[in-house]
Amino acid sequence: MAFKTDGLGKAYQKAQNESIRVKQFATQARNALIAGNVSANAVIQIMSNLKSSIEVWDTVSALSGIAQFARDQEDDQTYNVVAEFSSMRTEAVAARDWVINNFPESGGFIQKDTLEVDGAITVRVFTPAQTVGLQTALADLVAAIA
């Protein structure tokens, strides 16, 4: 048998690390959305980051025994990690879905760039007013992570 390098401890730590990372990322992204215009690339990056976080949380939350492991790790037998995962995931999905539902598209293709009459390509920008819903969704996500 080989030395084990994974398991509930590593998985729980991975979920915690991902939560810390996404809280920082969501805070910075929200601040940028509030501060001024942001590029379409930045909005797509928000969606992509959230997609990755959701996948990590889904993998960890599906592990058998993770709920009891979390209670033991936190030294709190009333801690409901499943509910906390669900709440955090719900807010991340809402922010991701805001981008999916509000990003300009046509026929399944996103409209990220503008082709100018001289052949120049410029990246679309979004104003703070256009991203108010995403700002709110990101604030809700940040609030769901202690």
- Diameter over CA atoms, the chain: 65
Q: Is the pLDDT of residue 3 over 70?
A: no
DSSP, collapsed to helix, strand or coil, labels residue 121 as strand
Please choose, from the candidates 101, 28, 29, 87, the residue with its C-alpha nearest in 3D space to the C-alpha of residue 57.
Answer: 87
Contact 113, 122 (CB under 8 A): yes
pLDDT tens sequence across 78-135: 999 889 989 999 999 999 999 999 999 999 999 999 999 999 999 999 999 999 999 9
Please choose, from the candidates 55, 42, 47, the residue with its C-alpha nearest in 3D space to the C-alpha of residue 14.
Answer: 55
What pLDDT, on a 0 to 100 scale, did the predictor assign at position 4? 60
What pLDDT, on a 0 to 100 scale, did the predictor assign at position 57? 93
Cα dihedral 41, 43, 87, 54 in deg (nearest 10): -20
- Non-local (6+) Cβ contacts of 82 within 8 A are 61, 67
Instruction: Determine the average pLDDT of the residues in 70-76.
Output: 93
What pLDDT, on a 0 to 100 scale, did the predictor assign at position 1? 65
Domain ranges of the chain: 8-143
**Portion of the chain with pLDDT greater than 90, in percent:** 89
What pLDDT, on a 0 to 100 scale, did the predictor assign at position 54? 96
What pLDDT, on a 0 to 100 scale, did the predictor assign at position 90? 97
Instruction: Determine the average pLDDT of the residues in 18-30.
Output: 97
Q: Is the pLDDT of residue 53 over 90?
A: yes
Query: Left if phi > 0, otherwise alpha if psi is -120 to 50, otherwise beta: which for 21?
Result: alpha
